[in-house]
Amino acid sequence: MENSEKTEVVLLACGSFNPITNMHLRLFELAKDYMNGTGVPKVKLLCGADFLESFGVPNLWKGEDITKIVGDYGLICVTRAGNDAQKFIYESDVLWKHQNNIHLVNEWITNDISSTKIRRALRRGQSIRYLVPDLVQEYIEKHSLYSSESEERNVGVILAPLQRKTAEADI
């Protein structure tokens, strides 16, 4: 393929990546394959169908933020078994309005790997080999993450959102 046929894309991926799984990495490959050949450089939000559905959770997103993301930039959504992204878009007035800027990419290999299921397996002492990259598994084991013991240590710990200090805020 000649350079003039390639599309330069910056993909902003959102999600917990907690822990990162092979499916998270696969999102990028699927998006790259989908966008290849359109010839127009773009910035897009890359997400899974479960993230797309978070736009419908009351008080989680501001309508104007969804409009800015989807309307001005657009998104590439990789579907997952059990999610009906097309139906969700149809049922959302904001997403329906910008449907031409939402690109649904079907994962043709059924893959039900999720960070939630990885954490559950780790709590139960089950293997996660081939579900996450080897380096991620090594890091988790080295730091004893996601075990029932680590969860007990963290009971009651509340994570606060990132707050940036600016010169204006300090005045």
10-residue mean pLDDT profile of the chain (171 residues): values are: 60 76 80 69 83 90 94 89 87 94 85 84 91 92 86 75 55 43
User: What pLDDT does 50 receive?
Assistant: 84
User: What pLDDT does 137 receive?
Assistant: 94
What architecture is the 3-105 domain classified under in CATH? 3-Layer(aba) Sandwich (3.40)
| Separation of alpha carbons 110 and 153, rounded Å | 35
| Separation of alpha carbons 148 and 152, rounded Å | 6
User: What pLDDT does 171 receive?
Assistant: 43
Ordered DSSP codes for 17-39: -TT--HHHHHHHHHHHHHHTT--
| Separation of alpha carbons 89 and 108, rounded Å | 21
* Helix or strand holding residue 48 (H, E): strand 42-48
Q: Do 95 and 88 touch, CB atoms closer than 8 A?
A: yes
User: What pLDDT does 152 receive?
Assistant: 81
Domain ranges of the chain: 3-105, 115-153
**Greatest alpha-carbon span in the chain:** 55
User: What pLDDT does 67 receive?
Assistant: 95
Total residue length of the chain: 171
